[in-house]
Copies of this chain bind each other. A is one copy, B any other.
Amino acid sequence: MPKVGMEPIRRQQLIDATMATIDEAGLADSTIMQISRRAGVSAGIISHYFGGKDGLLEATMRHILSELGTSVARRRQAQSSSDARAHLYAIVEGNFDRSQVSQAVMKTWLAFWTTSMHKPSLQRLQRVNDRRLYSNITYQFRKHLMPEQARTAARGLAALIDGLWLRGALTPEKFDTSSAVLLACRYVDEQLDGSSTA
């Protein structure tokens, strides 16, 4: 069947298969044979399109990060105003959209977080994404808070988002996204409204 335009299709199939395999067996027990078998192709094709297993994992992480960035940007652009609260809400909602808050995506993300601490290439990806989230949040808080307060509020919100998300990933039960969003948005309110004491 081969000839043209197979590359983007295969790449997507393999990235999806990678997340599904990590979800099922964990990154440590995910072999290229399992992944390729799930994608319906041979093992050799991975080296052909991604240069090897590492390339596939990095591409998978890029894909997840890209989807997160898109889901946040989409909600922020939907805001016509420059209201800080609305933008912070959008950021929170975007982080709990994550295209899909599926167990597969969350487990894959956590696996990459762990791996990124020892693989410079993945660490750079994670850092860039992290910095962007933090500085976006800080920028919005600065509209209503003093620089120092804004930084603290941003640290708190970022931690709250990651913590809620982490706990959603760790518990086998369905992740209650809406209550997590509500909790994080209430934190935003507390930071914006209760700033009179300092």
Contact = CB atoms under 8 A, between A and B. Distances in A.
The contact size tier of chain A is: 35 or more
Interface of A: 25-29, 107, 110-111, 113-119, 126, 130, 152, 155-156, 158-164, 166-167, 169-171, 179, 183, 187, 190, 194
Nearest to A183: B156
Contact of A156 (B114, B118, B130, B187): B187
Number of chain copies forming the complex? 2
Contact of A194 (B27, B159, B161, B194): B194
Nearest to A163: B163
Given A160-B159, A163-B161, A27 B152 contact: no
* Interface of A (DSSP majority class): helix
A103 to B, nearest CB: 9
A117 B27 contact: no
A161 B169 CA distance: 16
Given A111-B114, A194-B190, A130 B170 contact: yes
30 contacts: A26-B115, A26-B117, A26-B118, A27-B28, A27-B114, A28-B28, A28-B115, A28-B118, A107-B117, A110-B113, A111-B114, A113-B166, A113-B170, A116-B170, A117-B170, A126-B170, A130-B167, A130-B170, A130-B171, A155-B167, A155-B183, A156-B187, A158-B167, A160-B163, A161-B163, A162-B162, A162-B167, A163-B166, A166-B166, A190-B190
